Structure 1
Amino acid sequence: MSIVTKEGITVKVGQVWRDLDVRMVGRTCVVTAVHPEINGAKASVSMDRITPGKSRTRSQVRVSRMHKGATGWALVSEPAA
């Protein structure tokens, strides 16, 4: 089953996404897993968050938030083949 953002991007393990929240300048995330549904919630992804000057942290983000906008996300790169 593929998970698709509202902008039509298929979310895949290994993709790099940039956090567009102005409070998180420079933060990118690498998708480590895609979850179609967790506890009745909508699709989500597990990510390693990479913030300059800080250690990596693991978190989850709803796919519905993965779109361009003030607090959204932008796809930076696809996974290496």
Structure 2
Amino acid sequence: MNDHDITKEGIRVKPGQVWLDFDKRTNGGKRTVTVDRVVDGGAFVTTNGVTKANGKPYTSRLSVRRMHKGATGWALVSEAP
């Protein structure tokens, strides 16, 4: 991990954390994701509770820079176990 893995709010993004998406376009602002890994400022995540037609989960890469509170930002829901 490095400084690129720290949000504007000073939170170090780590595998196992659960984040809430504030973007109203994503399931009414109720989408949560779990961080799978963090590489050079990118958080690779799996969407919780939603799967593709083939049964596999949705995965995405989020910029750690965007992981902060705001209209289209993110909030940490729970730390890694």
State the TM bucket, normalised to the shorter chain: 0.7 to 0.9
Alpha-carbon distance in structure 2 between the residues aligned to 1:49 and 1:62:
15
User: Counterpart of 1:58?
Assistant: 59
1:39 alignment counterpart: none
Answer yes or no: is 1:49 the counterpart of 2:47.
Answer: yes
User: Paired residue for 1:16?
Assistant: 18
TM-score normalised to the size of structure 2? 0.82
Moved over 4 A (4+): none
The counterpart of 2:36, out of the listed 10, 32, 36, is 32
- Cα deviations across residues 25-57 of structure 1 (Å, max 9, x unaligned)? 221000000011xxxxxx11100012x5x3120
The amino acid across from 2:32 in the alignment is T
The root-mean-square deviation of aligned C-alpha atoms, in Å, is 1.1
Q: CA deviation at 1:75?
A: 0.3
SS of corresponding position for 2:8 = coil
Q: Which runs of 5+ in 2 are unaligned?
A: 52-56
How many residues in Structure 1 have an aligned counterpart in Structure 2? 72
Distance 1:59 1:15 in 2: 15
Normalising by the residue count of structure 1, what TM-score does the alignment of the two structures yield? 0.82
Q: What is the CA–CA distance in structure 1 between the aligned matches of 2:19 and 2:32, rounded to whole Å? A: 6
Q: Which amino acid aligns with 2:45?
A: M
Q: Which amino acid aligns with 1:70?
A: A
Cα distance between partner residues in 1 of 2:62 and 2:12: 15
